[in-house]
């Protein structure tokens, strides 16, 4: 007796379940399981044919801000577009995977070495810099990539992926939007970073921070225009830790929200105290840096209003400095947020101008009062002809937009002379003063007030 059964549906279901088990449901890329399998097979093959294998571990920078401000649906659509663009940036035979969240991995087989792999990473980063359009909104995406190259004899699949992950975190620590190649020394750096993160959480709870203030001066006269508040970490074992060592960590962990709030309220209280003590100098200003995460918080405008109200600081004395690249994450939201801040009476400055990707059309629309030229454009302004012309163009742009110009990082007399010749309004840097304690600023204001009184008496 012959028994015939159609198993087509069962096989289709099995194939579907197998596909779902090995692929990311959102982007349809390989998932972590599939990627690990492909990597293990690639290492076996590399040993047999004497080639090398590379892994790129990629994480989107500040992606949480997209989900928080535009919603998870928009975030998912952005991840899908990122996945498509990354796939187009590599060879058809290369494996692109989504490991979870905004983390991606790329497997490159038969690579000659680090130089070839670095070229791929640079191409991916360059391709991602082109705006993504979702619901007629332009979103700019930056990513950090870690690279690990190995073979079966030197690395297991798990080790290679972990090494690339470690290098990616180093790339974030070095400023984001870049790639780094794994080195053994990074393991120790990663452990120190994890220890520092644990210390940072405790430091915020115990307020282990102190503010220093760097003067900003009128370049033509040398007269004090204001001060910029700069946070330092008074670590119980390491002493005074500079912001370069912990701000990026605070950004990634979300600790920047509590830290930024402390800086804002503390600086406003201190500035209000100076204002009450030296009423004869009512026109100087306080600048406070604002992080991307702070600006994306709906409650941020209320926090600024509360800091002004509780301290009694006149709003026109407060300048909020916002990094240029933040503007392009969601221009519509940023425009609305900045206008709400302007309604409080504060002033707004674009910080580190020249390091981001601002659209000139957006710059015309955004309600900024000041433009701070990044130090990188000031370093060689007195000796490199191209830098002179670029700095001149930035200053002329600022003048056209009716913005006050501030040059950051002035350290030499010739830089000052050149910036004066270019008609730059304001400046700060070691040439004038290093960041000072609050007590030193008080002494400076007292001396300036005495000088003003002597001038008036004369």
Q: How is residue 20 written in tokens?
A: 């779902």
Domain limit, last residue, from 127, 157, 183: 183
Residue 6 domain-assigned (yes or no) = no
What is the domain-level CATH number for residue 38? 3.30.70.270
Same domain, 386 and 254: yes
Q: How is residue 267 written in tokens?
A: 């600086």
Q: 203 or 68: which carries more pLDDT confidence?
A: 203
Same domain, 279 and 384: yes
Same domain, 173 and 208: no
* 383 pLDDT tier (thresholds 50, 70, 90): low
Same domain, 314 and 167: no
**CA gap 249, 199 in Å, rounded:** 11
What percentage of the chain has pLDDT greater than the value 90?
A: 46
Q: What is the pTM assigned to this prediction?
A: 0.69
CA 361 distance to own-chain centroid = 22
Same domain, 41 and 136: yes
Select the highest-mean-pLDDT range: 3-17, 70-84, 233-247: 70-84
* 51 pLDDT tier (thresholds 50, 70, 90): confident
Helix or strand holding residue 41 (H, E) = helix 32-49
Question: For residue 381, is pLDDT > 70?
Answer: no
Same domain, 330 and 407: yes
Question: For residue 384, is pLDDT > 80?
Answer: no
C-alpha dihedral sign at 341, 347, 353, 358: positive
Same domain, 110 and 200: no
**CA gap 440, 448 in Å, rounded:** 12
pLDDT of residue 267: 97
Which residue has 């780094």 as its token pair?
180
Select the highest-mean-pLDDT range: 98-112, 241-255, 277-291: 98-112
**CA gap 79, 368 in Å, rounded:** 31
**CA gap 420, 431 in Å, rounded:** 14
Residue 41 domain-assigned (yes or no) = yes
pLDDT in tens, 397-423: 888 888 999 999 999 998 899 899 889
Domain limit, last residue, from 183, 205, 226: 183
DSSP 336-393: HHHHHHHHTT-EEEEEEETSS---HHHHHHS--SEEEEPGGGTTTTTT-HHHHHHHHH
Lowest-pLDDT choice from 34-48, 349-363, 391-405: 349-363
pLDDT of residue 79: 95
**CA gap 43, 54 in Å, rounded:** 10
Q: What is the mean pLDDT of residues 282-303?
A: 89
Q: Which range of residues forms the domain containing residue 301?
A: 194-457
Same domain, 339 and 225: yes
Beta bridge partners of 213: 229, 436
Same domain, 276 and 376: yes
Same domain, 209 and 285: yes
What is the domain-level CATH number for residue 340? 3.20.20.450
Residue 131 domain-assigned (yes or no) = yes
pLDDT of residue 357: 47
Q: What mean pLDDT, rounded, does the chain reach?
A: 86
pLDDT in tens, 141-152: 889 999 999 866
Are the beta carbons of 22 and 31 closer than 8 angstroms? yes
Q: How crowded is residue 443: how many other Cβ atoms within 10 Å of its Cβ? A: 12
Q: 174 or 420: which carries more pLDDT confidence?
A: 420
Buried b (16+ CB within 10 A) or exposed e, 170-200: bbbbeebbbbbbbeeebeeebeebeebeebb
Nearest in space to 110 (alpha carbons), one of 50, 166, 153: 50
Same domain, 216 and 92: no
pLDDT in tens, 109-123: 988 888 999 999 999
Q: 7 or 315: which carries more pLDDT confidence?
A: 315
pLDDT of residue 96: 95
Domain limit, last residue, from 135, 163, 183: 183
pLDDT in tens, 313-343: 999 999 999 886 666 556 677 888 899 999 9
Question: For residue 359, is pLDDT > 70?
Answer: no
Are the beta carbons of 209 and 217 closer than 8 angstroms? no
Question: For residue 457, is pLDDT > 60?
Answer: no
Residue 11 domain-assigned (yes or no) = no
pLDDT in tens, 22-36: 789 999 999 999 999
Helix or strand holding residue 161 (H, E) = helix 157-173
Helix or strand holding residue 53 (H, E) = strand 52-60
Same domain, 134 and 237: no
pLDDT in tens, 178-196: 999 998 888 887 777 778 8
Residue 188 domain-assigned (yes or no) = no
Residue 253 domain-assigned (yes or no) = yes
Lowest-pLDDT choice from 159-173, 238-252, 290-304, 375-389: 375-389
What residues contact residue 286 under an 8 Å CB cut-off, 6+ apart? 226, 227, 228, 229, 267, 268, 271, 313, 317, 318, 319
**CA gap 126, 423 in Å, rounded:** 35
What percentage of the chain has pLDDT greater than the value 70?
A: 86
pLDDT of residue 380: 67
């Amino acid at each position: 007796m012959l028994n015939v059964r159609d198993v087509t549906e069962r096989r289709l279901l099995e194939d579907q379940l197998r596909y779902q088990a090995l692929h990311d449901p959102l982007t349809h890329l390989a998932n972590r399981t599939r990627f690990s399998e492909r990597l293990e097979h690639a290492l076996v093959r590399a040993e047999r044919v004497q080639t090398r294998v590379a892994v790129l571990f990629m994480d989107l920078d500040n992606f949480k801000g997209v989900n928080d401000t535009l919603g998870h649906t928009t975030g998912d659509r952005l991840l899908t577009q990122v996945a498509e663009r990354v796939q187009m940036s590599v060879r058809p035979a290369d494996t692109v995977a989504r490991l979870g969240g905004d983390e991606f991995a790329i497997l490159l087989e038969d690579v000659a070495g680090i130089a070839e792999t670095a070229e791929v990473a640079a191409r991916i980063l360059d391709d991602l810099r082109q705006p993504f359009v979702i619901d007629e909104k332009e979103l700019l995406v930056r990513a950090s990539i870690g690279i690990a190259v190995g073979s079966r004899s030197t690395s297991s699949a798990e080790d290679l992926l972990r090494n690339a992950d470690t290098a990616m975190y180093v790339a974030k620590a070095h400023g984001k939007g870049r790639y780094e190649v794994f080195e053994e020394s990074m393991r120790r750096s990663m452990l120190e970073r994890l220890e520092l993160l644990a210390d940072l959480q405790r430091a915020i709870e115990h307020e282990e921070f102190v503010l220093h203030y760097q003067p900003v001066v009128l370049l033509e006269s040398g007269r004090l225009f204001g001060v910029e508040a700069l946070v330092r970490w008074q670590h119980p074992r390491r002493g005074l830790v500079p912001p370069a060592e912990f701000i990026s960590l605070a950004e990634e962990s979300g600790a920047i929200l509590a830290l930024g709030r402390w800086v804002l309220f503390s600086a406003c209280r201190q500035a209000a105290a100076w204002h009450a003590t030296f009423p004869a100098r009512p026109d100087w200003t306080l600048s406070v840096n604002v992080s991307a995460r702070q600006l994306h918080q709906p409650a941020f405008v209320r926090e600024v209003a509360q800091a002004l109200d509780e301290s009694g600081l006149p709003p026109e004395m407060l300048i909020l400095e916002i990094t240029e690249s933040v503007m392009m994450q969601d221009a519509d939201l940023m425009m609305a947020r900045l206008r709400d801040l302007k309604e409080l009476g504060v002033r707004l400055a674009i910080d580190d101008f020249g390091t981001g990707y601002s659209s000139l059309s957006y710059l015309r629309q955004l309600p900024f009062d000041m433009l701070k030229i990044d130090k990188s454009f000031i370093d060689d302004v007195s000796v490199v002809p191209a830098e002179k012309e670029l700095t001149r163009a930035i200053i002329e742009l600022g003048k056209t937009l009716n913005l006050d110009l501030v040059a950051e990082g002035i350290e030499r007399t010739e830089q000052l002379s050149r910036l004066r010749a270019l008609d730059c309004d304001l400046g700060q840097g070691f040439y004038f003063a290093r960041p000072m304690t609050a007590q030193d600023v008080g002494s400076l204001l007292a001396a300036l007030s005495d000088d003003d009184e002597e001038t008036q008496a004369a």
